[in-house]
Amino acid sequence: MDRWQTILREVAETKARILAQLTLGSEWRSSRGFCGVVTGDHADPQKVRLTIFDAKGPYGHRTRGDLAALVDVIIDDFGSSATLDPGCVDRLLEDFLGQRPHVGAEEQHEGR
């Protein structure tokens, strides 16, 4: 098998792996620290949306006609190593909140 055939086979395997796990409500993680949630598109109920989050909150979204079309978006935005990761967005939020200094109400009023 030549190099291009190997690459095409790997791409097809990656697409099949992601599509087999892709459902509404699924959460995905990239190797770069982004997370994404698959939902219906509120603007067009016939479409699906990947909403992307980073450590600072919502980063953007991509809308496509169906789950199969969203596979390419996940690969483009998250890389071929994108992984199904339930709770990914919650952990990003916890990490973000954990890095913020906590100042209690009493300390704010006393000017500390």
Q: What is the pLDDT along the chain (112 residues), one digit of tens a residue?
A: 699 999 999 999 999 999 999 999 999 999 888 999 999 999 999 999 999 998 888 889 999 999 999 999 999 999 999 999 999 988 888 877 775 444 444 433 344 3
Range of the domain at 73: 3-103
Predicted TM-score (pTM) of the model is 0.78
Asked whether residue 94 is domain-assigned, the answer is: yes
111 within a domain of the structure (yes/no)? no
Residue 104: predicted pLDDT = 44
3-state percent helix, strand, coil for the chain, nearest multiple of 5: 45, 25, 35
What is the predicted pLDDT for the residue at 1?
65
Angle at 72 between CA 29 and CA 80, to 5 degrees: 50
- What is the layout of strands, in order, in the sheet containing 35-40? 57-64, 48-54, 35-40, 27-29, 83-84
Q: What pLDDT does residue 102 have?
A: 42
Does residue 78 belong to any structural domain of this protein? yes
